[in-house]
Amino acid sequence: MAEETLFSKIVRREIPAEILYQDDLVTAFKDISPKAPHHILIIPNHLIPTVNDVTAEDEAALGRIFTVAAKLARELGIAEDGYRLMMNCNRHGGQEVYHVHMHLLGGKPLGPMLAV
């Protein structure tokens, strides 16, 4: 059984976060340490530690993440200019919180995809 992270507590509203969207499958909230003018994390409400742990049962929640990303981008006014969706996996991917999350970054030109 995987160990919960603070993101499960954000979903249950046990610790504070600026939640922009929540439904039965996913929660979207502002990143505490934004790397762009808009930096939002969109997560499945149930714990999936990494992309390596994804199964077919997760497809509804993971699909919803994209629907919510598009909706938030429209609402934030960044859809036309564009934005970046990013998901890190494990150590080489730079994952820090072991509850799958999509980063939605936008609000300025983001430059090349990888810093080298």
Catalytic residues: 101
SS3 47: coil
Q: How far is the CB of 98 from ligand 5GP (least distance, A)?
A: 8
| Helical (H) or strand (E) element with 102 | strand 102-106
Binding to ligand 5GP in span 46-105, by CB under 6 A: 88, 94-97
Nearest distance, CB of residue 75 and ligand 5GP, angstroms: 18
Shortest CA distance to 87 belongs to which of 97, 100, 78, 70?
100
5-44 positions binding ligand 5GP, by CB under 6 A: 6, 17, 29-33, 41
Count the site residues for ligand 5GP by CB under 6 A: 13
β-strand partners of 48: none
Contacts of 55 by beta carbon, 8 Å cutoff, 6+ apart: none
Query: Minimum CB separation from ligand 5GP for residue 87, in Å?
Result: 7
37, β-bridge pairs: none
Residues that bind ligand 5GP (CB under 6 A): 6, 17, 29-33, 41, 88, 94-97
